[in-house]
Amino acid sequence: MGPERIEPLLIGGKEFHSRLIVGTGKYSDSGVMVEAIRASGAEMVTVAVRRVDLDRSEGILHVLDPSEFFLLANTAGCFTADDAVRYARLARAAGFNEWIKLEVIGDVETLLPDTQATIEAARVLVGEGFKVMAYTNDDLITALRLEDAGCVSVMPLASPIGSGLGVVNPYFIREIKQRLSVPVIVDAGVGTASDACITMEQGVDGILMNTALASADDPVAMARAMRYAVRAGRLAFMAGRMPAREIAVPSSPTRGMLG
């Protein structure tokens, strides 16, 4: 195994060579978006389902080639289990795949998930043959219930969507990762490369981000930074870090000093 070799990420029976998943929202320029996604090295990209604007319709597939990226449709903006199921079905009818990033929002201010409705929608969608990747908060019990419902991945937040606050509760993220068998992808809250690295160092399987790239001054450069940060964090986790100590321990010999 070469020094930079990172094992592939297996979700729902599909292999991905990047542990970074990126969103396609909030970009002011679609050319920059495509360039940023390429620079990030992501294979899986998220898209949203919305009404066609009949006055000037430009869907994202006019700029994003679905043969180049694996499309993961989301249920962003849904506030009930029923709505999320409806959006998921519409997304599947687009004909690309049966995967869905399930999110049911419970609060407009924080965009925190309605975990009960998320579990309810997950059960329905899994029953209909969807491969569900479920956005949730950093609560272990909800994560366990989502796994139990048959989700192919559970996606706890690092911090609120679009906040860029980084991982606010590494302990719970680690706990969720240790207790679940399905891949744990941290979704939302990562702001910059160090956040991505610290998140990956918790041992999670991957990260999904959008705003950190789209709202950077230079999205393409930030995408490149995130690509390395995710890899560095994964490599550091696999390497096994030294224990943190609140004392100094010299790393040069204490013997042999001049008299």
Active site residues: 101
Alpha-carbon distance 144 to 55, whole Å? Answer: 45
User: Interface mask (CB under 8 A) for other proteins, residues 144-163, using x and -?
Assistant: -----------------xx-
From 27, 69, 99, 130, residue interacting with other proteins (rule: CB under 8 A): 27
- Binding of residue 71 to other proteins (CB under 8 A): yes
Alpha-carbon distance 191 to 199, whole Å? Answer: 11
Which DSSP state fits 8? P
Closer by beta carbon to other proteins, 16 or else 69: 69
Q: What is the per-residue burial (b if ≥16 Cβ within 10 Å, else e) of 64-100?
A: beeeebbbbbbbbebeebebbbebbeebbeeeebebb
Closer by beta carbon to other proteins, 28 or else 181: 28
- Binding of residue 127 to other proteins (CB under 8 A): no
User: Interface mask (CB under 8 A) for other proteins, residues 82-121, using x and -?
Assistant: -------xxx-xxx-----x-x-------x----------
Region 199-228 residues binding other proteins, contact defined as CB under 8 A: 208-211, 214
CB under 8 A: which stretch of 18-26, 144-152, 167-175, 220-228 binds other proteins?
A: 18-26
Short-list 87, 47, 86, CA closest to 63 = 47
Taking the complex as a whole, how short is the minimal distance between the CB of residue 243 and other proteins, in angstroms?
35
Q: Are strands 14-16 and 9-11 parallel, antiparallel or unpaired?
A: antiparallel
HSE value, Cβ hemisphere, 13 Å, CA-based, for 191: 8
- Binding of residue 54 to other proteins (CB under 8 A): yes
- Binding of residue 22 to other proteins (CB under 8 A): yes
Short-list 113, 32, 127, CA closest to 77 = 113
CB under 8 A: which stretch of 10-18, 59-67, 141-149, 174-182 binds other proteins?
A: 59-67
CB under 8 A: which stretch of 44-52, 115-123, 199-207, 227-235 binds other proteins?
A: 44-52
Radius of gyration, CA atoms only, the chain? 20
- Binding of residue 179 to other proteins (CB under 8 A): no
Taking the complex as a whole, how short is the minimal distance between the CB of residue 161 and other proteins, in angstroms?
5
Question: For 216-223, which contacts have Cβ atoms below 8 Å and span 24 or more sequence positions?
Answer: 219/27, 219/32, 219/33, 219/35, 219/36, 220/32, 220/35, 220/36, 220/39, 221/39, 222/36, 222/192, 222/193, 223/22, 223/36, 223/37, 223/38, 223/39, 223/40
Closer by beta carbon to other proteins, 90 or else 141: 90
The residues that touch other proteins, with contacts defined as CB under 8 A, are 22-27, 30, 33, 46-52, 54, 57, 59-62, 71, 73-74, 76, 89-91, 93-95, 101, 103, 111, 135, 161-162, 187-188, 208-211, 214
